[in-house]
């Protein structure tokens, strides 16, 4: 999997799946833009890890929910590495509650970050990608909740379901430009996002997973790396990475 000479942007890369993905892409030779929303220190640490292994990385602050900040993110990538080849739309949040108790702002924040954030980054990366005329890879983080729904996650499931439909549509629009667009749909992965679940809930989830364990960030990162470095003939697909939680 050789990504020498390519530039990858990973949103929300200061921790969790984004962090593991940034490190994996860099190990395969990509120059990586480590995007972060607020935790500069954690993003710096990811950059240091990559550079200490001989890779290339720069950190760029941007809130993916803000269109103009996404424009600046793409421009920063060009300023640092002169090109963009791979976009990983990883940034995401949860604001879980049953619909009857879900506040308007919890609905809106999740849609703004998890769905509009994907639109914002894809829309703003298009101009540099099309100008380069050398194809590209876009990988969006969906979720099994976006495929099957999940109690307490109407906002999150709606956003991730939207990401899946968006991915399929964009794959059709960009196929002729050799830009592949796919989604990865993780199940339950051990990151700070799932750390808030009680031990009881985790045990119940594990019982439903054929592999008998939660996933690791690296389990997802290696699938993203595969899609990022593949020939591009897989496009418009949603790949679950869930240890057979749902089938």
Nearer to ligand NAI, 123 or 177 (CB): 123
Q: Does 41 bind ligand NAI (CB under 6 A)?
A: no
Asked if 240 is part of the footprint of ligand NAI (rule: CB under 6 A), the reply reads: no
Q: Which is nearer to ligand NAI, 5 or 105 (CB)?
A: 105
Interacting positions 9-28 with ligand NAI (CB under 6 A) = 11-12, 14-18
Q: Which is nearer to ligand NAI, 35 or 182 (CB)?
A: 35
According to DSSP, the residues that pair with 241 across neighbouring strands are: 186
Q: How far is the CB of 103 from ligand NAI (least distance, A)?
A: 18
Number of residues that bind ligand NAI (CB under 6 A): 27
143 lies in the binding site for ligand NAI (CB under 6 A):
yes
Nearer to ligand NAI by Cβ, of 30 and 115: the residue is: 115
Which of 165, 184, 160, 171 is CA-nearest to residue 238?
A: 184
Mind spelling out the 3-state secondary structure of 84-107?
Answer: CCEEEECCCCCCCECHHHCCHHHH
Fill in the per-residue mask, 169 to 208: x = in contact with ligand NAI (CB under 6 A), - = not in contact: -----------------x-xx-xxxx--------------
Burial annotation 124-153 (CB, 10 A radius, 16+ → b, else e): bbbebbeeeeeebbbbbbbbbbbbeeeeeb
CB 233, min distance to ligand NAI, A: 25
Minimum CB distance to ligand NAI, residue 100 (Å): 23
| Known active-site residue 156 | yes
Going from the C-alpha of 62 to that of each of 52, 118, 120, 245, the distances in angstroms are: 24, 13, 11, 33
Buried b (16+ CB within 10 A) or exposed e, 184-215: bbbbbbbbebbeebeeeeeeeeeeebeeeebb
Q: Does 139 bind ligand NAI (CB under 6 A)?
A: no
Residues involved in catalysis: 156
């Amino acid at each position: 999997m050789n990504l020498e000479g390519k530039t990858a942007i990973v949103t929300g890369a200061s921790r969790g799946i984004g962090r593991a993905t940034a490190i994996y892409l860099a190990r395969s030779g990509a120059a990586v833009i480590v995007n972060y929303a607020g935790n500069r220190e954690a993003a710096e640490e990811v950059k240091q890890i990559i550079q200490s292994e001989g890779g290339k990385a720069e950190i760029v602050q941007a809130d993916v929910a803000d269109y103009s900040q996404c424009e600046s993110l793409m421009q920063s990538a060009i300023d640092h590495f002169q090109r963009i080849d791979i976009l990983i739309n990883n940034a995401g949040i949860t604001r879980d509650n049953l619909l009857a108790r879900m506040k308007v702002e919890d609905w809106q924040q999740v849609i703004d970050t998890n769905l509009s954030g994907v639109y914002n980054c894809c829309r703003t990366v298009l101009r540099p990608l099309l100008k380069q005329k050398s194809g590209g890879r876009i990988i969006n983080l969906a979720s099994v909740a976006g495929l099957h729904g999940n109690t307490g996650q109407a906002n999150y499931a709606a956003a991730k379901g939207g990401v899946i439909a968006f991915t399929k549509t964009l794959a059709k629009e960009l196929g002729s430009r050799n830009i592949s667009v796919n989604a990865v749909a993780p199940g339950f992965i051990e990151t700070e996002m799932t750390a808030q679940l009680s031990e009881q809930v985790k045990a119940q989830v594990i019982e439903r997973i054929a592999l008998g364990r939660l996933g690791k960030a690296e389990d997802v990162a290696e699938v993203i790396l595969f899609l990022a470095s593949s020939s591009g003939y897989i496009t418009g697909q949603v790949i679950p990475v869930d240890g057979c939680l749902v089938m």
